Structure 1
C-alpha cells in the first residue's frame, strides 16, 4: 500500500511512541471525532495530560507544524481558507493534495507522509505562492470498530493497462491514528476533466460521516463510501458547489447544474437520494454558504424573496432543520451571521466584522443562539456594559476562543461572559492537548501545549 517517507530513526520512533501512548488513553479529543467529548479528560497511561475544554496554553511549550499546515491557504487582502488540519491526542493530521502528513505536536520530530496508491495530480510543491490554491481540507477523524481512523481524499492519475485507457480517480485513504499507517483505501473513478489545467481538477475532500458512510466531495460530485465493505456505496445525482456538510443522517449541499438556480437540498446519507429541496435560491457567491449549527441544524445563506432576478434582492441567513429543510428561523439582515459554528454542547455561535461609518473602523460582532429555535441568547458588543466582541478563532466544547484589542480571550459560549482573560493564545484548533494558531513570533503555524 502507500509508502511513507523515510525519517531519522529516533524521530520516527519518538512519533510512534507518542501515537501509541496517546492512542491508548481517554484524553480529550478533537471535535471532529464522533465520540463523547463532554466527559472530563484523563491522562493516557504513558502520555501527557489532556483537558476536555482547555483555557490556558503555554507559549513556552511550542512545536512548529510542517509548512503543509498553511501553504496555499492565504490569498490577497488577508483572505484565509480553512486549514487542512485535524488534531487527535497531541498529533496533527494534515491533508495535502498528495497525501496525509502526520506530525507530533508535543515534541519536535520529523513528520510522516502517507501517500496514495497512484501519482497525485497535484504535489504540495505546486501550491502556495501567495494564492489560496491548496484544495486539501481537514481530514475526518472518527472511530470505526474500536479503532480511530483519519480519512482524507485526493485526486490521482490511474495508469492504463493493455487496451484500457488510464483515468483519474479520487482516492479515499483511511489512516490508523495509532500506528500512522494506511489501513485501507478506495478508488472512485471520476468523470474525465476536459481541461487538465482546470481549477477544480484536484478538488477532493471528505465531507463527513453519516452512519456507516463516509461522504466525499470531488469535482462537483458527491459520493458515499461504506466504511465496513470499503466500497463506494452511492453517487448522488446532480452536480454540486463546493462545501457540502454532513448533519446527522443528512448531507446538505448546494446544487450547481448549468442553466438552473443554485438551491440548497438535503441528501439521505445512507443512499445519496434527495429528500428535500429549499424553495429559495442560494445567495452565496463563493463556496456553499452552509454552516453546521447543531446536531440537527444547518445555516444556509439564501435570497429572502426566493429568487436572484431582482437586482435589489438581499441575502439572508436561514436556520434549517437538516433532516427536512424546514425553516426554524429567518435571521434579521443585521445579525452577525457571517460565520457560525456549533459548540458541541448546546449553543450556536455566530460572528462577523462590519464597517462602522461613524467610527471609521471595523467592528467585530458575535452572538449566541439556541440551535433548535434560533433564539438569541446574547450579543456583543454590549454598549450597556461597555464590552466588545472577540474576533472568534474557534468554538468548541462550550467555549469561544478569540482575540480583542486586549489580547487572546476565552468566553463562555452559553453566557457570553469571560472565562479566561489570559489564555496565552487564541487557537484555531485544539484537541485538549495542544492549541494550534499562527506562530506568535515567526511565520507558519505552531502547536502550543494546553496546561489548564
Structure 2
C-alpha cells in the first residue's frame, strides 16, 4: 500500500537564526568577489539610523521598497502567494535564494542588489521560470554566525561539463555570502562543491532539489537529490554523507538532524542523525512516515501509518528529537499541519480554516480558532515570530498574541511573511510585488 504523500511544510524554519553523506569531496571557491554584481556595493546605503523593534506589531506602508523580481519568481500568482518565498532577513538586508545563485538586496532603502553566482552552470536559471507558478526550486537561505562573521548560506545543483575521458556530472554547491549590515556590504565568502552520484535518489525527488537544512556546531547540513551531507564552515569541505536516501524537509532539533529516510517500496522511516558526523542515533521502525514538521527547539511532529501489529493505522505524534520518545499522540481531529515555533514558548499549526497553538514541549493545546462562542474566526497565518502570530482575516491584517491567541493589533499595516525587527516582507496590494516595509515603534 502506498502510504507516501507530499510532506507538509512549516510556515517558517524552526529557530532559523539559532540553528543558528554520496560521493566525492567539496572544494573551496571563496577568494573571488560576487560574480555578476558589485560585491562591495552597499545593500544598506547610509542614511538615517535604522530602527529595530524586536516584536513589531505595526509596519509603515508609506515607506515601501520593492524587492527584486527573484524574490517572488515562480511563487506568486495573481491570487497571491502560492509557495513559500526563498527569502531570509538580517538587519534589513534581504537575502534571496535563486536557482542560479543568491541575490542580496536592501529592504530599508532603495539600492542596487548584489548578485552572487556559482562556479558552474546551474540546472535552472531565474529566466527559465517565466511566469510558471511552482517552477522555482530555490529554498529559503540560512543566516548564521561563524567565527565572528554573519554568513548567508544557500545551495543549488549545477551541471559540471565533462573533459577528455571524464564524464560530466551534477554537483551541489553550497554558497556562503558574508553580510556586513553596519557597512552595508555583502560579498561572496566561499563555496563548497560536492559531486553527486547518478541515479542515487528515489521516490518523488527532483534533480534540482536542494536546500541548506541548518547549521549547528560549525557544520552545515545540506540536502541535495535525496542525499544529506555535512559541510564544515571552517574548512569549506564535506565532512560526512549520511547513509541512504531521504525526503526533503529534514530539520535540526534537539541536537539531532531529523529526516525521513527511504525504506522499502515507497515507505519512509523517521531517523535521528548526529549532525556532527551524519551517523544514525535512532530510527522509528514502527512508523511509515508521510510528513515531518518542526515543532520547537527540541521537538518534531511526525505523521504516517503504523507498521507491525497495527499496520495501516494512522498516527501523528509529537516526539523528542534527541531520543525519539513519543511525548504525545494526536487524534485525527488535531490540527498538526503546517507548524511554526514562535521563538519563545508556543508552536502554532494551521490547516484548512483553523489555527491551533500548542506547548512545543508537551503538545498541550493553548488555544484554537475559530471560536464560535466568542464570535472569532481563524486568521490566514503568514508568520509566527517573537511571540506573535501575523495573518489576515476578512477585516484585513491582524496580529495575535502567540501564547493566548488574543488580538494584539488590528491595524498592523501589513501581514508579513518575514520580519527581522527592522522590516517586514509582504506582497504589495496593487500588483503582488514582493515588498519590504519598515517597522514602526
Same fold by TM-score, threshold 0.5 exceeded? Answer: yes
CA contact (8 A) 2:43 2:186 kept: no
Match of 2:392, SS? strand
Match of 1:255, SS? strand
- Of the candidates 26, 31, 35, which is equivalent to residue 4 of structure 1? 35
CA distance in 2, matches of 1:390, 1:56: 17
CA contact (8 A) 1:206 1:215 kept: yes
Q: How does 1:147-186 map to 2 (within 5 A)?
A: 147-178=149-180, 179-186=185-192
Structure 1 residues 331 and 257, CA gap change in structure 2 (3 angstroms): closer
- Of the candidates 387, 391, 396, which is equivalent to residue 398 of structure 1? 387
* 1:108 shift after superposition: 1.9
Aligned position for 2:43: 15
Paired residues in the alignment total 404
CA distance in 1, matches of 2:310, 2:65: 48
Structure 1 residues 158 and 309, CA gap change in structure 2 (3 angstroms): same
Q: Which moved more, 1:297-306 or 1:168-177?
A: 297-306
Q: Is 1:345 matched up with 2:347?
A: no
CA contact (8 A) 2:379 2:393 kept: yes
Q: How does 1:277-296 map to 2 (within 5 A)?
A: 277-284=283-290, 289-296=291-298
Aligned position for 1:441: 430
CA contact (8 A) 1:254 1:282 kept: no
* 1:134 shift after superposition: 1.1
CA distance in 2, matches of 1:391, 1:276: 36
CA distance in 2, matches of 1:323, 1:373: 15
Match of 1:263, SS? strand
Q: Is 1:271 matched up with 2:277?
A: yes
CA contact (8 A) 1:261 1:281 kept: no
* 1:167 shift after superposition: 2.2
Aligned position for 2:365: 376
Post-superposition CA distance 1:64-108 (Å, at most 9, x none): 111111212258998822210001111110001100001111122
Structure 1 residues 172 and 225, CA gap change in structure 2 (3 angstroms): same
Higher normalized contact order (CA 8 Å, seq sep 6+, divided by chain length): 2
Aligned position for 2:194: 188
Aligned position for 1:34: none
- Of the candidates 244, 248, 251, which is equivalent to residue 245 of structure 1? 251
Q: How does 1:126-145 map to 2 (within 5 A)?
A: 126-145=128-147
CA distance in 1, matches of 2:309, 2:35: 50
CA contact (8 A) 1:223 1:234 kept: yes
Structure 1 residues 64 and 273, CA gap change in structure 2 (3 angstroms): same
Structure 1 residues 63 and 406, CA gap change in structure 2 (3 angstroms): same
Structure 1 residues 2 and 116, CA gap change in structure 2 (3 angstroms): farther
Match of 2:45, SS? helix
Q: List runs of 5+ in structure 2 lacking aligned partners.
A: 1-31
TM-score (norm 1): 0.83
Q: List runs of 5+ in structure 1 lacking aligned partners.
A: 22-45, 354-363
Match of 1:58, SS? strand
Q: How does 1:22-421 map to 2 (within 5 A)?
A: 47-73=49-75, 80-178=82-180, 179-192=185-198, 200-257=206-263, 259=265, 261-284=267-290, 289-303=291-305, 310=312, 313-314=313-314, 316-353=315-352, 364-421=353-410
CA contact (8 A) 2:267 2:289 kept: no
Aligned position for 1:359: none
CA distance in 2, matches of 1:74, 1:326: 39
* 1:258 shift after superposition: 5.3
Match of 2:372, SS? coil
CA distance in 2, matches of 1:16, 1:336: 41
CA distance in 1, matches of 2:245, 2:84: 23
CA distance in 2, matches of 1:58, 1:306: 56
CA RMSD of aligned residues (A): 2.5
CA distance in 1, matches of 2:85, 2:369: 27
Post-superposition CA distance 1:372-421 (Å, at most 9, x none): 11111111122222222211111001000011121111100111111111
Structure 1 residues 101 and 442, CA gap change in structure 2 (3 angstroms): same
Match of 2:294, SS? strand
Aligned position for 2:14: none
* 1:199 shift after superposition: 6.9
Structure 1 residues 438 and 209, CA gap change in structure 2 (3 angstroms): same
CA contact (8 A) 1:280 1:302 kept: no
* 1:424 shift after superposition: 0.6
CA distance in 2, matches of 1:6, 1:81: 27
Aligned position for 1:29: none
CA contact (8 A) 2:44 2:106 kept: no
CA contact (8 A) 2:65 2:107 kept: yes
Structure 1 residues 307 and 101, CA gap change in structure 2 (3 angstroms): farther
